[in-house]
Amino acid sequence: VGLSVYRFDINFRESTILGIVGAGGIGATLTTAMSRYDFDTAGAVLALIIAIVMALELFSGFVRRRVQ
């Protein structure tokens, strides 16, 4: 269970990076907003990515503590 949550966390982070590079997904939205100079949307996307990563990190830590 702990490893599954950890992999989900890693997959979310990697999807963001891959999207910025050009593979689509979450990072593609960020790249599109930045290329159109729509910094309000880009800031909202960044804030959302950071919030989701922090929530997944907290959840992952909680699950790993409960499993041990």
pLDDT value for 38: 95
| Number of C-beta neighbours around residue 30 at 10 A | 21
Helix (H, G, I), strand (E, B) or coil at 1: coil
Name the token pair of 7: 């992999």
pLDDT at res. 44? 95
pLDDT along the chain (68 residues), means of 10: 80 86 84 94 93 88 83
Cβ count within 10 A of residue 60: 19
